């Protein structure tokens, strides 16, 4: 692969995205949603900090529901005792909403280029690998950078820069398999709309299967790993070993999706 070609595609893609409806919609959507959530966190700061105390956890039902998503009680207690509660809640928000933001910003990597045959203008000037990798990397930079920066900044503002940096890394890690999954679906369907429909359906079916079937048999809960968001608890786990496992899993998912996407893209008619 010509890395120069991939770098040029990445830079051009970013430049175009930031001037396109897709890129602007993503940034506005992300900015407004995050601003709203952060303002709510700031508004309810005292309640959240009260909740973090063991006695408070039993009282605030709504906050407890949100906190449950972080993991089991042990994980929750350790996180809340070690880090600013407001940052722990934000971390959960950042990871839960990430798939939505990634879908908004990265759903069209090669799909429209395939459907309009724009790729025909590029493929005799650079390689398929450069286009595929450059578009994937461009989409990743677009959707992973703002959440990672905001998370890091929020960590610094909350007085726990180290934890903020770790959550920023977790956000960046989780974005990678999601972007790679969209790259795979783009290559397979050549349609941005079908890609969105497919990834949403996939996530929904996996979530339903893993939660509903798990009522009958707990072993079905592992079906959640058919979608990469299943690794969220690992990425928030205070244990460095579990965190590293989460990072490794994110890379594994990303490698598998990207390899499958590339396998299709390099062989398909354009």
Q: Which positions touch other proteins (CB under 8 A)?
A: 1-2, 4-5, 8-9, 12, 16, 19-20, 116-130, 267, 269-270
Q: Shortest approach of other proteins to residue 133 CB, angstroms? A: 13
Q: Shortest approach of other proteins to residue 255 CB, angstroms? A: 21
Sign of CA dihedral 190, 193, 197, 200: positive
The Cα-based distances of 168 to 18, 49, 222 in angstroms read 22, 22, 26
Nearer to other proteins by Cβ, of 20 and 211: the residue is 20
Nearer to other proteins by Cβ, of 124 and 215: the residue is 124
Q: Shortest approach of other proteins to residue 9 CB, angstroms? A: 8
Integer Cα distance of 76 and 171 in angstroms: 19
Instruction: Compute and round to an integer the Cα radius of gyration of the chain.
Output: 20
**Rounded (5°) CA angle 73-77-81:** 175
Nearer to other proteins by Cβ, of 99 and 261: the residue is 261
- Longest pairwise C-alpha distance within the chain: 66
Q: Shortest approach of other proteins to residue 5 CB, angstroms? A: 6
What CA dihedral angle connects 212, 260, 176 and 241, to 10 degrees?
A: 70
């Amino acid at each position: 692969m010509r890395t120069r070609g991939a770098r040029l595609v990445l830079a051009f893609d970013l430049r175009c995205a930031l001037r396109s409806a897709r890129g602007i919609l993503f940034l506005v959507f992300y900015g407004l949603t995050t601003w709203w959530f952060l303002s709510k966190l700031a508004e309810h700061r005292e309640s959240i900090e009260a909740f973090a105390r063991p006695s408070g956890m039993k009282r605030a039902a709504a906050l407890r529901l949100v906190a449950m998503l972080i993991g089991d009680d042990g994980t929750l207690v350790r996180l809340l005792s070690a880090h600013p509660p407001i940052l722990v809640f934000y971390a959960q928000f950042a990871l839960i909403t990430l798939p939505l933001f990634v879908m908004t910003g990265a759903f069209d990597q090669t799909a429209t280029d395939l459907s309009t045959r724009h790729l025909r203008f590029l493929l005799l000037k650079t390689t398929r690998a450069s286009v595929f990798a450059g578009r994937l990397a461009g989409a990743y930079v677009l959707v992973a950078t703002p959440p990672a920066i905001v998370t890091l900044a929020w960590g610094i503002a909350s007085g726990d820069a180290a934890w903020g940096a770790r959550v920023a890394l977790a956000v960046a890690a989780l974005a990678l398999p999601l972007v790679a999954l969209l790259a795979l679906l783009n290559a397979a369907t050549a349609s941005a709309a079908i890609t969105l429909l497919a990834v949403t359906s996939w996530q929904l079916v996996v979530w339903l299967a893993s939660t509903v079937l798990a009522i009958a048999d707990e072993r079905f809960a592992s079906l959640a790993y058919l979608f990469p968001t299943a690794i969220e608890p690992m990425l928030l786990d205070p244990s460095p070993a579990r965190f590293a496992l989460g990072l490794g899993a994110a890379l594994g998912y990303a490698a598998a999706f990207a390899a499958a996407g590339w396998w299709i893209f390099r062989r398909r008619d354009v």
